[in-house]
A and B are shown apart, each in its own frame.
Chain A
């Protein structure tokens, strides 16, 4: 191995190469390993860190460099992109008059707004690997800002669709945000951190329903006609994107020890082969089940962000303003609903292991979908709002719970699976909008109920997710000697040659730490009997 200068900034390329021992959970077990050398760089961090300089503590109110700052820059960037992507939705009643749109045009534009991200989310993982999370985020923000500004040029259905498609690319910030937090925070708390970052970012879809009508109203007060005012209103999300992009580049840092480009690349820096990572992600059937599942939790959420404001405006004869407030409440529930889902998943895992996580996911997603059916059938405003709130909590918690399962599907291809799952969310949204909200075949109310039914049906596949070492919703873990071990599952992603080079050691460490997914009963059974536990000397 090439020599690393001790403590020099940038010599530790944590998580970038596959060769180093990347411990996904903290190496320090307790008081015994507190030896901090006087020249240890960990002493300079404001927050306690593990041996990889990843934060061990999550302090949401702090902006300390580099960990908490990265968290805040990451989720706010993601939040800003959500604002831009769904900025058109609350203004559709004005836009449809300006551009003479039909329901089909509006529906197709909605599909387009979420489709671009399918590809950009897949590509973002690679971009972050090559350029670092900062540039991944900044690229997404600052290269899609022109698309946001170009709403001022839109004059018909086709240009409207094209612009919404291009704006939608910026949803790739989901991946860069999760990537950034994954390199900054240690494995034990990453579930909560990612749940908060994901949930608070998703809130942007709710805030935009309030922000855009308000901005539009203010611009109209200055004397602009409605058909000019809405175009100008898009400048606000555009500005926000540019500002966030600059903040990310100036205040942010790729890795705990520095920026990617200033790190000294020592010796052979071989990243894991993309083709291998891709193959193991694609070959694993669980990836695709999660792809479908996320398509009907996050996908449904994205669809609702596009249609719900117009639904309340048209069906219940509300003003743009009031419809915006109601629609915003849906997205704002993300603030606590998604982290709650992640937390519920963690609690279920503590008690029942992976089986608990899968049941939690199924229950939350199905309950959310049932309330969606109710929402479509509600004919009075108070009932509709109640149904919508319960639906939002269920579905958003399901999103959080899903990312409690995803990290365990693969260790080698974790990043790509996150990307694929995220793309699945957008894919599901495109499908539901195309099927139920793009033609006059169903009224919007019928579309909502049918979407709920489809979501219930498409949540059943979670019963097929089976881990040999932990079982599934209905089946017990494998009784086979070898296959019942976590090491076998995660080691199976590496070939013999790779194992002989020691490339799989990170996965083995992860496997050891993931034994907590066996649940409480199995953990208690695992405690060694007193004879073997007694030390050799008395």
Chain B
């Protein structure tokens, strides 16, 4: 009972901490300035049906502030993220696109973050090696411009508004390891053998007892 009370109390404390983040919940994606940034993402291997390998292949990403950007004075940093294309969101509600920025789960993978220097007007580019925890799927790249309060104010993405062009596919690592496989087999065999040994031993002892 006491353990249960402590658990419940710690839950309440966690909740209070969580709910204090509530102030920023109502910011909407539709309020952001579209196409304020021009973003391109070029995979290291291109072609029909090419699937990039996580942990190995790279993306060459460039971003540039568009000349038509109106909120440019507010930009303090640029956050570049990897986002799911609609094909990878089917039957997967944990990747759903939501208008409320707090709830939106379509861009969970952070690529990098750059502080914005208004003096530099040329396109910035960098290489990004796909991380080993990127799941299998179809992706595009989006860059958010955030202000001093770390709130998103504008964005740009490497695909069109319907998210149908310039998408690339990634194949995740399997996560399997030879050493893990071998250990698994060893322990499994041990388990079955131990049981058999006990069983046979006891049967033998029982037979000896009975024949006495």
Main secondary structure of the interface of A (DSSP, over half): helix
Contact B172 A97 (CB under 8 A): yes
Q: Which residues 363-383 of A have a CB within 8 angstroms of B?
A: 380-382
Among B11, B103, B136, B194, which residue has its beta carbon within 8 angstroms of that of A245? B194
Chain B residues with CB under 8 A of A153? 176, 181, 184
Chain B residues with CB under 8 A of A149? 183-185, 187-188
State in angstroms the CA–CA spacing of A332 and B6 once bound together. Answer: 12
Contact B199 A336 (CB under 8 A): no
Contact A152 B176 (CB under 8 A): yes
Contact B191 A241 (CB under 8 A): yes
State in angstroms the CA–CA spacing of A440 and B102 once bound together. Answer: 22
If the complex has contacts A142-B191, A146-B192, A264-B210, are A249 and B198 also in contact, measured as CB distance less than 8 A? yes
Q: Interface size bucket, A side?
A: 35 or more
Stretch at the interface among A78-86, A100-108, A173-181, A406-414: A100-108
Stretch at the interface among B38-46, B64-72, B91-99, B157-165: B91-99
Q: Tell yes or no: B149 within 8 A of A by CB.
A: no
Contact A231 B206 (CB under 8 A): no
Among B3, B137, B181, which residue has its beta carbon within 8 angstroms of that of A152? B181
Closest-CB distance, A164 to chain B (whole angstroms): 16
Among A102, A145, A333, A380, which residue has its beta carbon within 8 angstroms of that of B90? A102
Q: Tell yes or no: A322 within 8 A of B by CB.
A: yes
Contact B11 A242 (CB under 8 A): no
Main secondary structure of the interface of B (DSSP, over half): helix
State in angstroms the CA–CA spacing of A97 and B82 once bound together. Answer: 14
Q: Which residue of A lies closest to B201 (CB)?
A: A249
Q: Tell yes or no: A520 within 8 A of B by CB.
A: no
Closest-CB distance, B107 to chain A (whole angstroms): 14
Q: Which residues 293-334 of A have a CB within 8 angstroms of B?
A: 310, 314, 316-318, 322, 325-326, 328-329, 332-333
Q: Tell yes or no: B120 within 8 A of A by CB.
A: no
Contact A318 B187 (CB under 8 A): no
Q: Which residues 97-136 of B have a CB within 8 angstroms of A?
A: 102-103, 132-133, 135-136
Q: Tell yes or no: A119 within 8 A of B by CB.
A: no
Proximity bits, A223-237, B CB within 8 Å = 1, else 0: 001111011100100
Top 3 A-B residue pairs of the complex, sorted by shortest distance between their CB atoms: A227-B175, A146-B188, A97-B135
30 residue pairs of the A-B complex, CB under 8 angstroms, read A96-B135, A97-B135, A98-B135, A98-B174, A98-B175, A100-B136, A102-B91, A102-B92, A138-B195, A138-B198, A145-B188, A145-B191, A146-B191, A146-B192, A152-B181, A152-B184, A153-B176, A225-B175, A227-B133, A231-B180, A232-B180, A238-B191, A242-B191, A245-B191, A249-B198, A328-B7, A329-B8, A329-B11, A335-B3, A336-B4
New A-B contacts (12) at CB < 8 Å, excluding given A103-B92, A262-B202, A328-B7: A97-B133, A98-B175, A146-B192, A149-B184, A149-B185, A152-B181, A155-B176, A249-B195, A262-B206, A316-B18, A325-B14, A385-B11
